[in-house]
Structure 1
Amino acid sequence: MIDLRGKRAVVTGGSRGIGGATSRLLAQCGADVAVHYRSRADVAEGMAAELRTLGVRSMAVAAEISVRSEMDACLDGIAQAWGGIDIFIGNAGIWPVEEVPVEDMTDERWLRTMHENVDGMFYGTRAALRHMGDGGRIVLVSSTAGQRGESMHADYGASKGAMIAFVKSVCVEVAWRGITVNSVAPGWVDTEMCAIPFSGGGRERITRGIPVGRIATPEDIAAPIVFLCSPMSRHVTGEILNVNGGSVLCG
């Protein structure tokens, strides 16, 4: 088991799906975990209570990721309570479900996706770095869509592509401090976000396009995220780790 005792972690969107699995695994490895949420206080408080039973500190913290002042206040509060931040997991974001070609895409949809996925990533990472000492870890959850694009979801693909470029830029800036910056790129994951595309035979169709023959669980994504938070990954930075069952290779 990876030993993260004494480490102070923040997981955005940390109460459900990939974020929930990551919060749980970090705590199982001994890290204190701040569970960020946007609207479901009951779920986040429940997750924090569960993590405390593992003998670590945990709190639920609310903030709108796309509002700079809220993210600054959120990360400032965590750092003040715990004396700093060692690990930041940028997981929160949106995936617009409706398929829309670019010529029909509204300004509102494009800007909302960019605001949530790009601005939110920037605000969270910047605020975390201001409270992070040497040897910290930043892991951002991107997507296969950021590498190969996503037809009818150009806004989402572009937002995740921006995240990948951000990782490769920031990792160089902070390397001298021993801080690593990486991304995990999932494909299809069995979460609430994917409920609509999985319906009506969609699950079977999607599964046929995944070489390993199954859709990922949130735990499949959490494990490599936590590896990238560990001392074992200290010489890994600027990497985009594909955790998608080989689907990124299939076009």
Structure 2
Amino acid sequence: MNHVAIITGASRGIGAATAKLLASNGYAVCVNYRARMDQAEAVVEEIEASGGRALAFKADVSREQDVIALFNATEQAFGPVTALVNNVGVLLTQSRLVDMDVERFTRVMATNVTSCFLCCREAMRRMPDGGAIVNVSSLAARTGSPFEYMDYAASKAAMDAITKGLSVEAAEKNIRVNGVRPGFIHTDIHADGGEPGRVERLSPSVPLKRGGQPNEVAHAIEWLLSDKASYVTGSLLDVAGGK
């Protein structure tokens, strides 16, 4: 089978690590980005330098027409999409819910949830021979992230609901749908929230006493996409050091 993957938000962090890992395992990879063109192109260059196939494609995946264009471009370059990783996500400055405005909440839900819905729907329409979807959720979906990111936590819990429901609807089409819930991972997203050192602060509360690396999450995603997980669907895999 010709393995073709779309990874949303793949210019950095978990998305970039997943793109590189999948490419090293024979996937042709579309590295989606919205604003970080230089970083996305650097990921593609690294993949191609190692003999892999990749393209960078700009799309705001919270917009329907952008999602359609993303899938069209990937199919034109590599053939039918067989794998989708819904990784894109936004995290805004730490805040209590009482201090959040509706514009912030709407932006987080659109970026994190609407994008997941749109990409999942498009994948369902374009995987006639089956495939696999992995939604990148968060430990916050279980904890609620009080005093910091309740909007983000709510968006990730919504992604978990999509994962569970779609896994049942997709089963008859031989499409598996799973999720990963990363814990405290060393990525730039914490700087977006206003605390670059958040992982170091919270690491003592993790049973393994350390933060995770993007590649550790990428390996979980790669397994769920692979035939090694052929009897796994509707599962949510915590990659959180025991938290």
Q: Under TM normalisation by the shorter chain, which class is it? A: over 0.9
- RMSD of aligned C-alpha atoms? 1.4
Partner of 1:185: 181
Asked whether the 8 Å contact 1:63–1:70 carries over to 2, the reply is yes
Instruction: Give the gaps of 5 or more residues in structure 1.
Output: none
* Counterpart check, 1:134 vs 2:126: no
Partner of 2:195: 197
Partner of 1:216: 212
SS at match of 1:133: coil
Deviations 1:182-215 (A, max 9, x none): 000001110111234343xx44431111110110
Alpha-carbon distance, 1:174 to partner? 0.9
Asked whether the 8 Å contact 2:203–2:210 carries over to 1, the reply is yes
* Counterpart check, 1:151 vs 2:146: yes
Alpha-carbon distance, 1:238 to partner? 0.4
Selected match of 1:109 from 90, 104, 113: 104
Deviations 1:218-246 (A, max 9, x none): 01100000000100101000000000001
Selected match of 2:241 from 233, 236, 245: 245
Q: Which amino acid aligns with 1:197?
A: E
1:204/1:190 CA distance change after superposition, 3 Å? closer
SS at match of 2:134: strand
Asked whether the 8 Å contact 1:36–1:44 carries over to 2, the reply is yes
In structure 1, how many angstroms separate the alpha carbons of the residues matched to 2:50 and 2:126?
A: 25
Deviations 1:11-44 (A, max 9, x none): 1111210001000100111111110011111211
Partner of 2:51: 55
In structure 2, how many angstroms separate the alpha carbons of the residues matched to 1:134 and 1:197?
A: 44
Deviations 1:64-92 (A, max 9, x none): 12111111111122123322100000001
Deviations 1:95-148 (A, max 9, x none): 11222x222221111111111111011111112222223230100100011122
* Counterpart check, 1:11 vs 2:7: yes
TM-score normalised by L of structure 1:
0.91
Q: Which amino acid aligns with 1:29?
A: N
Counterparts of 1:21-36 in structure 2, within 5 Å, are 21-36=17-32
Q: Which amino acid aligns with 2:60?
A: E
Tell me how many residue pairs correspond in the alignment.
240
In structure 2, how many angstroms separate the alpha carbons of the residues matched to 1:54 and 1:86?
A: 22
TM-score normalised by L of structure 2:
0.94
Q: Which amino acid aligns with 2:242?
A: G
In structure 2, how many angstroms separate the alpha carbons of the residues matched to 1:133 and 1:85?
A: 10
Which stretches of structure 1, 4 residues or more, deviate above 4 A after TM superposition? none
Instruction: Give the gaps of 5 or more residues in structure 2.
Output: none
* Counterpart check, 1:172 vs 2:168: yes
Asked whether the 8 Å contact 2:200–2:211 carries over to 1, the reply is no
In structure 2, how many angstroms separate the alpha carbons of the residues matched to 1:207 and 1:197?
A: 14
Asked whether the 8 Å contact 1:210–1:245 carries over to 2, the reply is yes
Percent of residue pairs bearing the same amino acid type: 39
Q: Which amino acid aligns with 2:215?
A: E
* Counterpart check, 1:160 vs 2:153: no
Asked whether the 8 Å contact 2:164–2:234 carries over to 1, the reply is yes
Asked whether the 8 Å contact 1:211–1:245 carries over to 2, the reply is yes
**More moved, 218-227 vs 118-127:** 118-127
Asked whether the 8 Å contact 2:91–2:152 carries over to 1, the reply is yes
Asked whether the 8 Å contact 1:139–1:225 carries over to 2, the reply is yes
